[in-house]
Structure 1
Amino acid sequence: MKLKKHLSVMVTIALTAGILAGCANTGGEAGSGDQKQGNDRKSSNELIAAVTYEPEEGFDATESGHGDMTRVFFSTLFQRNKELGMENDLAESYEVSEDRLTWTVKLRQDAKFTDGENLTAEDVVYTYEIAKDSGSSIDLTMLDSVKQVDEYTVEFKLTHPQSTFIEKLARVGIVPKHAHKEGFSDNPIGSGPYKFVQWDKGQQVIAEANEDYYGDVPSIKKLTMVFMDDDAAYAAVKAGEVDIASIPGSFAKEEVPGKKLLELDSIETYGVAYATEKPGKTTSDGHPIGNAVTSDIAIRKAMTYAMDREELVEGILEGYGAPSTTGLEKMPWLNEETIIKPEEDGNLEEAKKILEEAGWKDTNNDGTIDKGGVEAEFSLLYTDGKYRQELGLAYVEVAKQLGIKVNLEAKTWDTIIPEINSQPVLYGFGSGDPSEIYNLYSSKTLGVGVPWNNSGYYQNPKVDEYIDKALQSEDEDAALEYWKKAQWDGSAGFSPKGDCAYTWFVNAGHLYLADESLDIGTPVVQPHGGRALYNITEWKWK
């Protein structure tokens, strides 16, 4: 990762940091009025941060993780520490049975909801039962039952052993059973470091410090999170209307008086998920499965080896990032044998050779290679977001040099989903949870859970076997061997060495422009989407 002429905050592997942007529709230097407002915020320990994502469905922790919002308003049983390990949050201790099917968690007894009521085992049981039944984006299909043992002890029963179950216990925010009623998502009650004050839909969320929080009470007493896109956010932080904003690399070159650039290490990667099945089948919803072109491994491998990732890092990320060929760089479960070496990267000649040996040739001289009467043409779908369009355009250009015609199409998730199993999709990923490998590559996730779980319908029995063994291992350390073998065991795997189910591009650093007087402590490494607010209790004005 390149360090430019700015403050660079580099932290060691850990999970979770945040999705900050900025607020305003004017640019330029901060005026005297903005300067005064900024000083007033500092003296009263208030902060304005812009966020690029507003959860349209509201802030109910039983329905989704909500990224930063979970950590601001809610508590979880466990949380990731800054070394990527697990530590207690609401949990005081836990035990796992010998058959690894029963997890017993003892709760701390000093946690209260922001309405003053005690948080007890009854609330935890209620939360997990509702989250399991609600179709939450957090996969709880392995949870058979959850019950209250006593006022501060909870017992979870699993349908099968899962080494990564503790990850689920670190993602679900606990809601109060007595107050979880209609309208909760618009005015949530949690036990996190901040109390929800108001939500002005389409504009902002206002929160105030929870003085009864069982952990470190925040120094920032009023936190306002405004919803804005990158351009508006950048203008706002420059003008002093917000105090911190997430910015793309293209904005990082400009020196802004009174501001500092923060570069937070991240595990966010971008890549293309291929439809690996041949066409002909449909999902239960009637959506087509498979693609006549990308089902050929030669197409997938050729594109994977043809991409010049250093060029992507320099040209699109402005140097703030690193090449990614596996999507798992920086993770302890990475099989290093699967990394494409720098000298092999961007090798157009090797890519052309792969295609030619597989029978892809331009037999009708129309500029597009073909095989068995099938033209090498497909669509690449993407949604709005940092770097996606630029990466998509780079992919299209490289494909063109190989005689492959790619039609880049910007869509919303609603319009992508009907095609998600039949056309390649450009995604952002990045998680400190190894079970993400299960979500992306196991055939058991086909048609289960969120639509992007194994959207390409990738299937390999050997990969399934290793993933199952990893999940059934005693703990995450014991599972490492099998996560690595699922990538490549010498003859099979989902990585570029094997079936090449994805073409990965880059690992993107996360950049923030902030007031030079703002101290954000030591943030944890950011996953996909960011989690900067996860350490909000450390933030303070200097």
Structure 2
Amino acid sequence: MVATAVALTLTATGCVAGGGGTEGAGARKTELVIAVGDIAGGEFDPIKGWGTRPAQIRPIHSSLLTIDSNVTFVGDLASQYSVSKDALTWSFTLRNNARWSNGEPVQAQDVVFTYELLKKDGTRFDLSFVDKIVAVDDSRVEFRLSTPQSTFVGQLSEIPILPKAHYGKDYSSNPIGSGPYRVRNFQDGQQLILEPNPHWYGTAVKFTKLTFLFLAEDAALAAARSGSVDIAYVPPAFADQKIPGMTMKSFETVDSRGLSLPTLPAGGSGQILGKDVKVGNDVTSDRAVRQALNIGLDRKKIAELVLQGHGRPAYTLVDGLPWFNQAAAFTDGRTAEAKQLLQQAGWADSNGDGIVEKGGVKAQFTLLYPSDDKLRSDLALVVAEQARALGIGVTAKGTTWDGIYLDGKANAVTWGGGRHHAHQLYGMYSSKVIDTGYNNMAQYSNATVDKHLSAALSAKTPEEANRSWKLAQWDGTSGFAGEKGDAPIVWLVRINHMYLVRNGLDLGDQPIHAHGHEWALFNTIANWKWSR
């Protein structure tokens, strides 16, 4: 069935299966076929979510800033920028050769339009701290903030700038950007075809056509075996695959996986993207259960089984980054101590079935994972097996992402994340963002943590911000991380991104990857080329 689906898809897109032969090699001198998942979420429009995934915008849009291979924020559309000493005024000068894909110049008014549009919307990007945006002239723009925002630099690198004169309700069907490529054809759920933007301000791209096939992981692997794609994402469990004409590439990431655990008792209600949803779980709302999982699960064994050596244990979302608190790391796999912790909290196995209970409630819950994601599926199954040894029953259940968003505030979820900046710590743990977007799925609230997170967000310098980010993780008496922390999310592993890549294809000097294998490669997409 997979082979048939791939054959039908390739026929529909008109792709030629090269298989490493002469015909295929010749066909791919100027064209690439890529299968890394569905990359089009948000349909090219930031109001619909385009730009909320790291590096997603890079093929067809530009942002004021971007990151280089050292994960340093540098100018993209901005040729230069500065920040005032009080961190309240951010000034940008646009490059004079920036053009939209229709040839018109990119101007400061376009920047103002984009950010005012997103600030008014307030759903996908929180710009409430921006007091005023001013076009000083056609090439200069100023952001005047009501309060310092240490993570604003991250948004400046992710928000795609839109053409004021050409943005409307039908923008998704005819997106105009200032990136290296432009949309030639888009079939929702099937494929995206890009062609070079003739007005791109950077070095001329080397490919005349990029075809992205939105294939599931098994279908992408089958397409790679048939020689029909040049780049294919591969889950770590399949990383030992050997395919003639292709090389397995492994990229280090800040992309982590863990368990989001509801912190409120069952029976509550909340929202996700404006939809009413059930909130709370009578088992995971007990802090002792979350802590028992945090210290009792064996991350090293989980990494070995799920990642096959292509990743490592993780204790927070930000291990090893400048804002990581080393005190949040600890020795895990402590089964006996985890069971003792549960016992002290009143959980006991009264009927000998191996699952503890308390007040007539058995310590068992459902763990949701996306059915089409092998890594998260494997993670859920391994967690369920290890949790059983602690006296906790976990039922792994595959579903769609839509199902996860609707049910994920009342059940555990195989959650993920990881960015080149610290803002996700605020989005995942601050009580101030509960019921906004996909933030704080665990409905977690801790006044001390909120204080540290707010201080980090409003810090004037990176050093000041990092101190507060670390305190939010664990300040010696309270925090969301560490063996004594609240553990609304139990982080388990940090993964490597694995791709089968056509021999001789140079993907540029990749920075460490952020969350999302679908888009992580795109930071360097303008520099892709054949090395031989």
Q: Do they fold alike, i.e. is TM over 0.5?
A: yes
Q: Find the aligned partners of 2:413 and 2:241 in 1 and give their Cα distance.
A: 33
Q: Does the Cα contact within 8 Å between 2:237 and 2:375 map onto a contact in 1?
A: no
* 1:54 and 1:202 in contact (8 A); partners too: no
2:234 pairs with 1:227: no
1:258 and 1:106, CA in 2 relative to 1: closer, same or farther beyond 3 A? same
Task: Kindly provide the CA deviation profile for residues 494-539 of structure 1, in whole angstroms up to 9, marking residues without a partner as x.
Answer: 1033212221111110111111121112112111113102201221
The equivalences for 1:59-208 within 5 A come to: 59-64=44-49, 65=51, 67-208=54-195
2:319 to 329, 335, 338: 329
1:296 to 2:255 alignment: no
Normalised by the size of structure 1, how large is the TM-score?
0.89
Give 3-state SS (helix, strand or coil) of 1:70's partner. Answer: coil
- The residue matched to 1:167 in structure 2 has which SS? helix
| Structure-to-structure mapping, 1:232-311, within 5 angstroms | 232-283=219-270, 286-311=276-301
- Once the two structures are TM-superposed, the CA of residue 437 in structure 1 deviates from its matched residue by 0.6
Judged with a 3 Å threshold, the aligned counterparts in structure 2 of structure 1 residues 439 and 187 are, in CA distance, closer, same or farther, namely same
The structure 2 residue matched to 1:405, chosen from 380, 393, 396, is: 393
Structure 2: unaligned runs, 5 residues or longer: 9-15
In 2, distance between residues paired with 1:415 and 1:230? 20
Q: Does 1:480 align with 2:470?
A: no
Deviation at 1:34, TM superposition (A): 6.6
- Corresponding residue for 1:13? none
Aligned position for 1:9 = none
Please say which of residues 378-387 and 82-91 is displaced more in the overlay.
Answer: 378-387
The one of 323, 341, 347 equivalent to 2:334 is: 347
Matches within 5 A, 1:35-54: 35-43=21-29, 45-54=30-39
- Are the aligned partners of 2:31 and 2:207 in contact in 1 as well (CA < 8 Å)? yes
The structure whose RCO (Cα within 8 Å, separation 6+) is larger is 1
- Would the aligned equivalents of 1:140 and 1:168 in 2 still touch at CA under 8 Å? no
Q: How does 1:294-443 map to 2 (within 5 A)?
A: 294-340=284-330, 344-384=331-371, 385-443=373-431
1:533 corresponds to which letter in structure 2? F
* 1:406-435 CA distance string (max 9 Å, x none): 222222233233333222211121111201
Q: Does 1:24 align with 2:6?
A: yes
State yes or no: 1:445 paired with 2:430: no
Of 498, 504, 518, the match for 1:517:
504
Larger mean CA deviation between 279-288 and 104-113 belongs to 279-288
Per the alignment, in what secondary structure is the counterpart of residue 228 of structure 2? coil
1:260-295 CA-to-partner distances (Å, cap 9, x unmatched) read: 111111111100111112345322665333222112
Q: Which residue identity is paired with 1:326?
A: T
Counterpart CA distance in 1 for 2:500 and 2:478 is: 44
Give distance in 2, aligned partners of 1:413 and 1:201: 17
Matched residue of 2:213: which SS?
A: strand
Give the paired residue count. Answer: 512
2: CA distance between counterparts of 1:178 and 1:306? 57
Distance in 1 (alpha carbons) for counterparts of 2:446 and 2:27: 56
Query: What does 1:455-466 align with in structure 2 at a 5 Å threshold?
Result: 455-466=441-452
For the Cα contact (< 8 Å) 1:62–1:128, is it kept in 2? Answer: no
- Per-residue deviation at 1:78? 0.3
Distance of 2:18 and 2:60 partners within structure 1:
34
Shift of 1:38: 2.0
- Distance 1:140-1:194 versus aligned 2 partners, 3 A rule: same
Matched letter for residue 464 of structure 2: A
Distance (Å, rounded) in 1 between the aligned partners of 2:508 and 2:230: 15
Are the structure 2 counterparts of residues 62 and 214 from structure 1 closer, same or farther at C-alpha, using a change threshold of 3 Å? Answer: farther
Letter in 1 for 2:220: A
Q: CA deviation at 1:173?
A: 0.7
Q: Is 1:55 matched up with 2:40?
A: yes
**Cα distance in structure 2, aligned partners of 1:294 and 1:32:** 51
Q: Please identify, of 465-474 and 116-125, the stretch whose mean Cα deviation from structure 2 is larger.
A: 465-474
Q: What is the CA distance between 1:447 and its match in structure 2?
A: 1.6
214-223 vs 60-69, which moves further: 60-69
Give me the identity figure in percent. 37
Q: Provide the residue aligned with 1:532 in structure 2.
A: 521
Cα RMSD of the aligned pairs, angstroms, is 2.2
Secondary structure at the aligned position of 1:47 is classed as strand
Deviation at 1:179, TM superposition (A): 1.2
Q: Distance in 2 between matches of 1:226 and 1:135?
A: 32
Give, in whole Å, the separation in 2 of the partners of 1:336 and 1:69: 31
Amino acid across the alignment from 2:513: Q
Q: Give the counterpart letter for 1:153 in structure 2.
A: R
CA distance in 2, matches of 1:31, 1:55: 24
Deviation per CA, 1:191-226: give whole Å up to 9, x if none.
111122121333322212224321222122322212
Partner residue of 2:12? none
Shift in Å at residue 231 of structure 1?
1.3
Stretches of structure 1 that go unaligned for 5 or more consecutive residues are 1-22
Give 1:486 shift: 0.7
- The one-letter amino acid paired with 2:346 is G
Whole-Å separation in 2 of the counterparts to 1:34 and 1:259: 8
- Deviation sequence 1:137-196 (CA, Å, 0-9, x none): 333233333232211111223332211111111111111111112322122111111122
For the residue of structure 2 that corresponds to 1:447, the secondary structure is: coil
Is the contact made by 1:198 and 1:205 (CA closer than 8 Å) also made in structure 2?
yes
**Structure 2 CA distance for aligned equivalents of residues 185 and 418 of structure 1:** 26
- Deviations 1:14-50, CA, capped at 9 Å, x for gaps: xxxxxxxxx9349xxx98777244222343x221112
SS at match of 2:471: helix
